[in-house]
Amino acid sequence: MVVQEMTREESIAMLSSRRLARLACVRDNQPYLVPCHYAFSDNHLYSFALPGKKIDWMRQNAHVCVQVDELGANRQWRSVVVYGRFEELPETPQWHRERMHAWSLLEQHANWWEPGSLKPPFASAETGSALIFYRIKIDSITGRHAHDEDDGSG
């Protein structure tokens, strides 16, 4: 088995092609890890949540880590880790454009509201709801992949 670094371009390509990640946040030296759906655009990961622990923690400590992976045949895998900062996109005139951008990116994919426990209301992003849209501004990104030595990958 050979483990190799992925280039930034390969890492971004993987982020762009996936939708499900694991989001880690920390409060009072206690980590918290949850799955989330996201959309990648212009050095940001866009997502949403309902009010709760994850949002409370990220509001107190904006530094987060996001991991996306893919398992393949013959023990092959790829993994990308992003370090970044939480930025809430509140329902205010100042953030309207970014909030609508997040909504438009996310709604392009079926079941974009999962793995949240509730489907968002049928109201549009403009009419208001309990949904909290946010983005993760990417500070750094790394990726690795593994393959058998004799499979010709590299």
- Token pair of 140, please? 């750094």
What's the whole-model pTM score? 0.83
> Looking at the predicted structure, is the pLDDT value of residue 52 above 50?
yes
Please state, in angstroms and rounded to a whole number, the distance separating the CA atoms of residues 16 and 103. Answer: 16
Q: In terms of DSSP bridges, do strands 44-49 and 2-5 run parallel, antiparallel, or are they unpaired?
A: unpaired
pLDDT at residue 73, rounded to an integer? 86
pLDDT in tens, 12-39: 999 999 999 999 999 999 999 999 999 9
77-100 mean pLDDT: 93
DSSP for residue 19: -
Spell out the residues 6+ positions from residue 110 whose beta carbon is closer than 8 angstroms to its own. none
CA distances from 16 to 20, 66, 93 (A): 11, 14, 28
Say if residue 1's pLDDT is above 50.
Answer: yes
Mean pLDDT across 113-136: 60
Q: How far apart are CA 115 and CA 118, in angstroms?
A: 8
The DSSP secondary-structure symbol of 52 reads S
Beta-bridged to residue 44, according to DSSP, are: 41, 137
Mean pLDDT of 43-70: 95
Q: Which run of H or of E encompasses 145?
A: strand 132-147
**% of the chain at pLDDT higher than 90:** 60
CB hemisphere CA count around 127 (13 angstroms): 5
pLDDT the model gives residue 126:
47
Q: Between residues 64 and 108, which one has the greater pLDDT?
A: 64
The tokens for 153 are 């990958």
pLDDT of amino acid 127: 43
